[in-house]
Amino acid sequence: MSSLESEMAVARALLEQVSDSPSLATSLLQTITRLSREIELSMLRRKQLIHRDEMLQLTQQLVGLFVHEFQGTPGWEDKIERVSTTFVGMLAAPRDENGSFA
């Protein structure tokens, strides 16, 4: 994995320096795309990355847990709805370069 990340860093650095060569820039962009896919697949295989469908399933389970725990308390439906909406919004929000929530 670290070699893939190193290759990605080199490709990005080179891309910044080749603005005068469209064909080389295109080739580097293709390399960056390929490396990105390889890194993502590697992270999925090592269980370091959660697939979107798994995250949505986890979200549904968490909401179910909240419903079970808070059901019957005053205003629980509104609270659960706010938590659910906020969490789903966080999943859809853009990430920074490290994948952290913005």
Over residues 4-54, the pLDDT tens digits come to 889 989 999 998 898 788 899 999 999 999 999 888 888 777 777 777 788
What is residue 56's predicted lDDT score, i.e. its pLDDT?
Answer: 80
CA gap 17, 5 in Å, rounded? 19
CA gap 73, 61 in Å, rounded? 20
What is residue 88's predicted lDDT score, i.e. its pLDDT?
Answer: 77
Per-residue pLDDT tens digits for 38-47: 888 887 777 7
CB 18 within 8 A of CB 59: no
Instruction: Give the closest residue to 88 by CA, choosing from 53, 49, 56.
Output: 56
CA gap 99, 49 in Å, rounded? 10
Q: Would you say the pTM of this structure is higher than 0.75?
A: no
- 101 pLDDT higher than 70: no
Task: Match 């966080």 to its residue by tokens.
Answer: 90
What is residue 29's predicted lDDT score, i.e. its pLDDT?
Answer: 92
